[in-house]
């Protein structure tokens, strides 16, 4: 539900059918994998699962909070055509993706299956080598100097680290 609100309410860009289909299929597979692995977990809820729940909630907050406030900011007429760099986006350029990585790492931990950590690892690699460079090219073209100045002073994905 969080993903649907983000896509259909906060993000006002057009999604291609290929992009929509890919996300739908991949998310269905990912959620099925987590459910299967977690459903077979016979462990009593312990510290690993508790940390996983905290990571899931934290990542959900980071992603949703950043998308919501960007959405609200973009609705204001005086911000039309400007790059959003406030609140959590002041910590890292793609803080919303960092939230996704954190929440999916939390989900993997809740399953108590080491193999499920491959999902947030693949997401991270995809963000770093595919999605972020593509988005940065688009942002540079659209916002020019505003984006270049912003990108010089901010970490890309993880606040204070990368």
- Kindly report the average pLDDT of the chain as a whole number: 89
In this predicted structure, the answer to whether residue 152 has a pLDDT above a threshold of 80 is yes
- All structural domains of the chain: 2-152 (1.20.120)
pTM: 0.84
pLDDT in tens, 91-110: 999 999 999 999 999 999 99
Q: Which helix (H) or strand (E) holds 4?
A: helix 2-5
What number is the average pLDDT over the span 124-143? 95
Through-space distance between the first and last CA atoms of the chain, rounded to whole angstroms? 29
Q: Could you give the angle at the alpha carbon of 12 between the alpha carbons of 152 and 129, nearest 5°?
A: 45
């Amino acid at each position: 539900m969080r993903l649907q609100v983000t896509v259909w309410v906060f993000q006002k860009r057009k999604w291609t059918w290929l992009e929509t289909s890919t996300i739908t299929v991949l998310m269905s597979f990912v959620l099925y994998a987590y459910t299967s692995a977690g459903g077979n977990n016979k462990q009593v809820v312990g510290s690993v699962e508790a940390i996983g729940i905290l990571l899931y909630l934290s990542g959900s907050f980071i992603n949703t909070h950043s998308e919501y406030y960007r959405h609200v900011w973009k609705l204001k007429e005086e911000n039309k055509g400007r790059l959003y760099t406030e609140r959590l986006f002041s910590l890292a350029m793609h803080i919303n993706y960092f939230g996704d990585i954190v929440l999916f790492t939390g989900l993997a931990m809740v399953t108590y299956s080491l193999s499920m950590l491959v999902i947030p690892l693949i997401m991270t690699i995809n963000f770093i080598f595919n999605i972020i460079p593509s988005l940065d090219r688009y942002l540079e073209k659209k916002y020019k100097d505003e984006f270049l100045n912003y990108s010089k002073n901010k970490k890309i994905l993880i606040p204070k680290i990368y």
